[in-house]
Each structure stands twice: as C-alpha cells, then as structure tokens.
Amino acid sequence: MAVGEVGTRPRERVRGRGSRTPYLLIAPAVLAMLAFLVYPMASVVYYSLQHYNISKPWENGFAGLDNFTRMLTADPLFWQSLGFTARWVLVEVSLQLVLGLALALIVNETFVGRAAARAMVFSPWAVSGVLTTGIWVLLYNPTTGLSRYLADLGLMDYGAAPLANPDTVFAAAVLAELWRGVPFFAILLLADLQSIPRDLYEAASVDGASRVRRFYHVTLPHLKDAIILSTLLRAVWEFNNVDLLYTLTGGGPAHQTTTLPLYVASTAVQSQEFGYGSALTTAGFLILTFFSVAYLRLSKFGART
C-alpha cells in the first residue's frame, strides 16, 4: 500500500501539472488572437449594425440592417467597386501565375548566370509596396517619366499620362502590380519545381514524352497544390490591395480604379461614416470567406492526384 502510494503520487503530480501546461503555453497566442483578430472583427460587425458618423453624433444609434440595405439597393458605387475588384483580382492573379510560372521554369534550368538571373527575378519582391508605387508614379509621370524622354526623342507627343487616361489606367496599374507580384509566384513555384524527382522526367523521356507532354503530365500535376495555395493567397491579397492603387491612382480617374477596400477607406476615413464603412468591410469579409472555401473545395486542394 505504502509502496503503491509512493509510486502514484509523483505520476499524479506530473499529470496534474502537465494538463495545465499546454493551456498555459497556448494562452499568449489565444489572447493575442482574441485581442488582435476576434475583437476587431466583432467590433466591425457591431458597427456595421450602427449609424456611426463621428462628425454627426446626433444621428448615431442602432441601424439594424439599414447599412446593408443601402449597400445592396441604393449604392451603385458598391457594385461598381466590387465589379472592378473582381476584374482586378482575376487579371492580376492569372497574369502573375502564368508569368511567374514561366520565370520559375526558366530559372530552374541550368545556364551560365543562373544565380544572377534568379536574384533579378526575385528582387522586386524585396521592394516595399510604397516604394514600388513611387517608382511607377515617377515612370508614368508626364513631367519626369518615360513619356517625357520618348517625346524629347521625337518618338511620341508630350503630355501622355497613362494614369489619367481612362483607356490606359487599368493596363498601367496592372503592369505596376505585375512587376511586384510575379516574383511571388516565381519564388513559390521554383521551390516546388526543385522537389520534383528527376527520375520522373527521365522515365517520361524514355517513354518518348516531348517537353510539352512532360510539362503537362509531370510538372503541372506536381505543382497543383502550390498553384492552388498561391493563387488563393494572392487573390486575397489582391482583393485587399490598397497601397499600390491608393498611391498610384487614388481610385481614379472618376472611380475607374476604385476597389472595394479603397471605397471602404474613402467612406470611413474621409467621409467618417464608420457604420456604413463597417458594413462594406463585413460584406468584403463574407465574400472572401465564401470564395476561399469554395475555391479550396472545387479545386480539391490536398487531394491525391
């Protein structure tokens, strides 16, 4: 009896302490998530149900679903900005994927100067967003930019401003964002390309598969999960893109490059309509959540091929 008691007490103590330890260890992370994720999200949902404009405090109060009704039925700018956001995400993610994959395939080959080529391909990713837009603003500026020098050489007329022209502003903004976004795909896909066993390619070659067939039947299936994950991540980032478009075009001219987050920023920050701005943010959150879940399900992410 005494021996048994002596034998079980330490184990109980260990078990007792052990059962609390995991909770203590994850407590900081849980607290951080509650403070920096759950609370802000709950706060946005709360304010989306309020009339809350700090410059008109006499109108503040519970709004029910008024903000959402206004958004869906009486605000053409919501639909316009949502439509532009969808177009922006689709064009950006598709082009970044195709060009990033092409670059990854090139720098995955063995050639003289490969290290320098890889460094050049990846370098735009290391440049901060605001600096990137600063560079492109100067390039597009008719006083200081490329068009000025081309006009000096007599190759075009003075005054061309791609960011001010409704016919060119979308392409100009897409190009600037491509410069920053392509390296993301190139880095991610190159890492995955290097994990494809060489003997798969050798076996395919022995079976007479051409380079194109090897790409479609060996490379692409192997990259599937990386492509799904990277396109999903990039789609979310592009949806929420504020820095580049805000600095480059400010959403203009005439709302032509206003994404939903830019519209939220002007509604909440400039017009100080925090209630309506919160409703727009909630809508964006729900759209992104639905898109992410549907995309992962439809693409069968993680399933064996």
The answer to whether 54 contacts another protein (rule: CB under 8 A) is: yes
Q: Which is nearer to another protein, 124 or 142 (CB)?
A: 142
Q: Does 56 bind another protein (CB under 8 A)?
A: yes
Interaction of residue 70 with another protein, rule CB under 8 A: no
β-pair partners for 62: 50
CA pair distance 291, 223, nearest whole angstrom = 21
Answer whether 184's CB lies under 8 Å from 234's CB.
yes
β-partners of residue 53 are 273
Tell me how far, at minimum, the Cβ of 241 lies from another protein, in Å.
Answer: 18
Nearest approach, Cβ of 235 to another protein (angstroms)?
26
Nearer to another protein, 124 or 252 (CB): 252
Asked if 95 is part of the footprint of another protein (rule: CB under 8 A), the reply reads no
**What three-state secondary structure class fits 273?**
strand
Binding test (CB under 8 A) with another protein, winner from 151, 196, 218, 233: 151
Peptide bond into 76 cis (omega under 30): no
Rounded to a whole number of angstroms, the minimum distance from the CB of residue 195 to another protein is 45
Contacts of 249 (CB under 8 A, 6+ apart): 163, 169, 173, 256, 257
Based on CB atoms, which residue is closest to another protein, 117 or 242? 242
Strand runs labelled E in 29-98: 50-51, 61-62
Contact positions vs another protein (CB under 8 A): 53-58, 141-144, 148, 151, 157-161, 163-166, 249-255, 266-267, 269-273
